[in-house]
Chain A
Amino acid sequence: MYAQAFFVAVFGLAAIGFGLVVFRTSSMVRSALALLFSQTAVGCMFLAMQTEFLGVLQIMMMATEMSIMAIFMVMFMMDPGGLGGMDMSHQKRFSIGAGVSAAVVAIAIALLSDWGPLADQVPDAEAQTRALGMELLGRSMMIFETAGITILTAMIAATAVAIPVQNLASKNDKESSE
Chain B
Amino acid sequence: MSSDPAINLTGARQKRYSVLQKLVSRALARNLSCLIVPGPEVALAHGLDVTAAGLRIATTPRDASVLLIVGDLPGKMGDAVAVLYAQMPRPRAILMVGGQTPSTLSGDDISSDLSQEDLTEAVGQLKRALADGAFTDSPEDFDASVMHARIEYVCPMHPEVVEDEPGSCPKCGMDLVAREAGESTPEGGSDHEHHEDHEHHGHEHEHCHDQEHQSHHEHQSHHGHHEHHDGHDQDHGHDHDHNNEHQPEHAPENAGTEYTCPMHPEIVRDEPGSCPKCGMDLVVRESDDHSEHEHSGHDHGEHDHGEHDHGEHDHGGHDHEGHDHGSSGFMSMIEVTKDLPRSADGLQMDWLEVPFGPVFPGLPGGLKLTLTLDGDGVTEGQAISLVGVTSKGDNVEESEEMDAETFIAYLSAAIPLAPVSYRLLACLAIEQAAGLEDDSANAGARTGALERERIASHLGWLAQLGRQLGFAWLTQRASTLQLQVREANRDSLAALEPALRTLGTRLERTPLLKSRLMGVGILPTESSGLRGPVASAANEGGDAWARLWQRLAEISASLDLIKSGAEPELPVLRDVGDVSGTGEATVDTPRGEARLSLKLERGHVKSYELDTACSHHIGLVPKLVEGQELGDALLAVGSLDLSPWEVTS
- Contact between A and B in the complex (any CB pair below 8 Å): yes
Interface, chain A (partner B; CB < 8 A): 24-27, 30, 74-75, 78-94, 164, 170, 173-174, 176-178
In the assembled complex, the CB of A19 is this many whole angstroms from the nearest CB of chain B, namely 16
Q: Is the CB of B207 within 8 A of A85?
A: yes
- B259-286 vs A, Cβ < 8 Å mask (1 yes, 0 no): 0000001111000000000000000000
Q: How far apart sit A75 and B349, CA to CA, in the bound complex (Å)?
A: 7
Q: How far apart sit A88 and B325, CA to CA, in the bound complex (Å)?
A: 9
In the assembled complex, the CB of B573 is this many whole angstroms from the nearest CB of chain A, namely 61
User: What would 23 A/B residue contacts be, using CB atoms closer than 8 Å?
Assistant: A25-B206, A26-B204, A26-B205, A74-B302, A78-B337, A79-B331, A80-B303, A81-B302, A81-B303, A84-B155, A84-B157, A84-B174, A84-B177, A84-B205, A85-B175, A85-B207, A85-B208, A85-B211, A86-B329, A87-B325, A87-B330, A88-B330, A176-B266
What are the residues of chain B within 8 A of A88 when measuring CB–CB? 330
Interface size on B, residues (CB 8 A): 38
The 3 A-B residue pairs whose C-beta atoms are closest, nearest first, are A81-B303, A85-B205, A87-B329
Known A78-B333, A80-B303, A85-B205: A90·B323 in contact at CB below 8 Å: yes
What are the residues of chain A within 8 A of B336 when measuring CB–CB? 78
What are the residues of chain A within 8 A of B345 when measuring CB–CB? 164
Q: How far apart sit A82 and B211, CA to CA, in the bound complex (Å)?
A: 14
Assess whether B306 is interfacial by the CB under 8 Å rule. yes
Q: Is the CB of A87 within 8 A of B305?
A: no
Q: How far apart sit A5 and B327, CA to CA, in the bound complex (Å)?
A: 42
CB under 8 Å from chain A, chain B span 57-75? none
Assess whether B326 is interfacial by the CB under 8 Å rule. yes
Assess whether B199 is interfacial by the CB under 8 Å rule. yes
In the assembled complex, the CB of A170 is this many whole angstroms from the nearest CB of chain B, namely 8
What are the residues of chain B within 8 A of A91 when measuring CB–CB? 323-325
In the assembled complex, the CB of B332 is this many whole angstroms from the nearest CB of chain A, namely 9
Q: How far apart sit A104 and B211, CA to CA, in the bound complex (Å)?
A: 31
What are the residues of chain A within 8 A of B509 when measuring CB–CB? none
What are the residues of chain A within 8 A of B303 when measuring CB–CB? 79-83
What are the residues of chain B within 8 A of A26 when measuring CB–CB? 204-205
- B356-388 vs A, Cβ < 8 Å mask (1 yes, 0 no): 000000000000000000000000000000000
- Given contacts A79-B303, A177-B266, A177-B268, list 4 more A-B pairs with CB under 8 A: A81-B302, A84-B155, A85-B208, A87-B327
Q: How far apart sit A17 and B336, CA to CA, in the bound complex (Å)?
A: 32
Assess whether B156 is interfacial by the CB under 8 Å rule. yes
What are the residues of chain A within 8 A of B327 when measuring CB–CB? 87
What are the residues of chain B within 8 A of A30 when measuring CB–CB? 204
What are the residues of chain A within 8 A of B330 when measuring CB–CB? 87-88, 90
Residue of B nearest to A176 (CB): B266
Q: How far apart sit A80 and B333, CA to CA, in the bound complex (Å)?
A: 12
In the assembled complex, the CB of B277 is this many whole angstroms from the nearest CB of chain A, namely 11
CB under 8 Å from chain A, chain B span 205-240? 205-208, 211-212
Q: How far apart sit A89 and B330, CA to CA, in the bound complex (Å)?
A: 8
Q: Is the CB of A82 within 8 A of B265?
A: no
Assess whether B201 is interfacial by the CB under 8 Å rule. yes
Q: How far apart sit A154 and B115, CA to CA, in the bound complex (Å)?
A: 66
CB under 8 Å from chain A, chain B span 312-337? 323-327, 329-331, 333, 336-337
Q: Is the CB of A24 within 8 A of B305?
A: no
What are the residues of chain A within 8 A of B177 when measuring CB–CB? 83-84
Q: Is the CB of A80 within 8 A of B302?
A: yes
Assess whether B346 is interfacial by the CB under 8 Å rule. yes
Q: Is the CB of B208 within 8 A of A87?
A: yes
In the assembled complex, the CB of B282 is this many whole angstroms from the nearest CB of chain A, namely 14
Q: How far apart sit A99 and B466, CA to CA, in the bound complex (Å)?
A: 58
What are the residues of chain A within 8 A of B208 when measuring CB–CB? 85, 87
Q: Is the CB of B326 within 8 A of A92?
A: yes
User: Of B201, B212, B329, B346, which is within 8 A of A83 by CB?
Assistant: B201
User: Of A89, A174, A177, which is within 8 A of B325 by CB?
Assistant: A89
Q: How far apart sit A131 and B326, CA to CA, in the bound complex (Å)?
A: 53
Q: How far apart sit A96 and B206, CA to CA, in the bound complex (Å)?
A: 18
User: Of B157, B199, B337, B346, which is within 8 A of A164 by CB?
Assistant: B346
Q: Is the CB of B324 within 8 A of A86?
A: no
Q: Is the CB of B204 within 8 A of A82?
A: yes
Q: How far apart sit A81 and B304, CA to CA, in the bound complex (Å)?
A: 9
User: Of B199, B204, B306, B346, which is within 8 A of A25 by CB?
Assistant: B204
Q: Is the CB of A173 within 8 A of B266?
A: yes
Q: How far apart sit A101 and B207, CA to CA, in the bound complex (Å)?
A: 26
In the assembled complex, the CB of A27 is this many whole angstroms from the nearest CB of chain B, namely 7
What are the residues of chain A within 8 A of B199 when measuring CB–CB? 81, 83
Known A81-B303, A83-B199: A94·B175 in contact at CB below 8 Å: no
What are the residues of chain A within 8 A of B329 when measuring CB–CB? 86-87
In the assembled complex, the CB of A62 is this many whole angstroms from the nearest CB of chain B, namely 23
- B168-183 vs A, Cβ < 8 Å mask (1 yes, 0 no): 0000001101000000
Q: Is the CB of A83 within 8 A of B266?
A: no
User: Of A27, A86, A92, A94, which is within 8 A of B331 by CB?
Assistant: A86
In the assembled complex, the CB of B197 is this many whole angstroms from the nearest CB of chain A, namely 15
What are the residues of chain B within 8 A of A170 when measuring CB–CB? 265
Q: How far apart sit A94 and B325, CA to CA, in the bound complex (Å)?
A: 10
What are the residues of chain B within 8 A of A178 when measuring CB–CB? 268
Residue of A nearest to B215 (CB): A87
In the assembled complex, the CB of A71 is this many whole angstroms from the nearest CB of chain B, namely 10
Q: How far apart sit A170 and B305, CA to CA, in the bound complex (Å)?
A: 29
Q: How far apart sit A87 and B327, CA to CA, in the bound complex (Å)?
A: 8
Q: How far apart sit A90 and B331, CA to CA, in the bound complex (Å)?
A: 12
In the assembled complex, the CB of A99 is this many whole angstroms from the nearest CB of chain B, namely 15
Q: How far apart sit A83 and B175, CA to CA, in the bound complex (Å)?
A: 7
Q: How far apart sit A57 and B461, CA to CA, in the bound complex (Å)?
A: 49
What are the residues of chain A within 8 A of B211 when measuring CB–CB? 85, 87
Q: How far apart sit A74 and B303, CA to CA, in the bound complex (Å)?
A: 9
In the assembled complex, the CB of A33 is this many whole angstroms from the nearest CB of chain B, namely 13
What are the residues of chain B within 8 A of A83 when measuring CB–CB? 156, 175, 177, 199, 201, 205, 303
User: Of A24, A89, A177, which is within 8 A of B206 by CB?
Assistant: A24
Q: How far apart sit A87 and B216, CA to CA, in the bound complex (Å)?
A: 13
In the assembled complex, the CB of B326 is this many whole angstroms from the nearest CB of chain A, namely 7
Q: Is the CB of B204 within 8 A of A79?
A: no
Known A78-B305, A81-B302: A27·B212 in contact at CB below 8 Å: no
Q: How far apart sit A132 and B515, CA to CA, in the bound complex (Å)?
A: 46
What are the residues of chain A within 8 A of B205 when measuring CB–CB? 26, 82-85
Q: How far apart sit A176 and B207, CA to CA, in the bound complex (Å)?
A: 51
What are the residues of chain A within 8 A of B325 when measuring CB–CB? 87, 89-92
In the assembled complex, the CB of A17 is this many whole angstroms from the nearest CB of chain B, namely 15
